[in-house]
Amino acid sequence: MVEKKITRKELLKEPDEFMTVTGQVIRYTREHPKVITAGCVIVVIVALAALGINTYFTQRQLKSHELFEAAHREYEASMLSPDSATPERLDGLLARFEAIARDYASTNAGEMARLYTGHLLYRKGDYQGALDRYTKLQSSHLVTGGLGPLVTYHIAMTRLALKDYDQALTLFDQLSKDINSPYRREALASIARIYELTGKNKEAVQAYRQYLKMFPEAPDAVFIKTRIADLSAKA
């Protein structure tokens, strides 16, 4: 069956879809002004709320960054002048970083502040406290953002300070095998040091030799060669 061809004249008689829908919208608007007004008010309120929330979080980020930078500058100054790093000054810095970590916990500055509370507790000899701070950072944005090796390194160093040699060795071994870790050299040296501390001179010599193989131009290469010679004589 051949379909009937619609002529141009007949086509022009057909109602325009756009005009029909537009007319319906206009008619509905005229018949329900209160509904339209309420809808517009809701849209404006939601938009303003979203803008307010965004502004609030932006201001928190800026304020936390400002507070962290000020505390960090003082921390760096204490590192450059150890004689000025009195217990009172370190306690004051610790309180400042702890306040930032507490009040701005969800911000990048808050997480960095927690990292520095660990540094300060380590400097004060409170290794267990430092370990607690570092461990809490394992699930932070710092780790997912690429600073995982940094956190792992400080946990390993703190384990070493606590003489938890097995845990420290495991962590340093992990870092030494990560080709992207900036702490490979320090990790290898620490592995050899742990073997020395635990009386495993043969393993220490092997670790030091591996260190020199991977980092022949290391600034402490002469010292490492001396340690190899001394430990080889004892082995």
In the predicted model, is pLDDT for residue 10 greater than 60? no
SS3 178: coil
CA–centroid distance for 23 within its chain: 56
Residue 114 has pLDDT above 70, yes or no: yes
Task: State the Cα torsion 119-125-131-132 to the nearest 10°.
Answer: -90
Per-residue pLDDT reduced to its tens digit, 136-171: 999 888 888 889 999 999 999 999 999 999 999 999
CA angle 36, 41, 43 (to 5 degrees): 95
Distance CA 210, CA 225 (A): 12
Residue 19: band (very low, low, confident or very high) from pLDDT cuts 50, 70, 90:
low
Give the tens place of pLDDT for each residue, 90-101: 999 999 999 999
What's the one-letter identity of residue 190? S
- Alpha-carbon distance of 2 to 73, in angstroms, equals 87
- Token pair in block for residue 179: 């080709």
Report the pLDDT value the prediction gives residue 11, as an integer from 0 to 100.
47
* pLDDT score at 2: 52
Structure tokens at 74: 């003082």
The pLDDT assigned to 70 comes to 93
- Give the model confidence (pLDDT) of 196-233 as tens digits: 999 999 999 999 999 999 999 999 999 999 999 999 98
Instruction: Give the residue with greater pLDDT, 138 vs 47.
Output: 138
Q: What is the pLDDT of residue 105?
A: 87
Q: Is the pLDDT of residue 56 over 70?
A: no
pTM over 0.85: no
Name the average pLDDT for the chain: 84
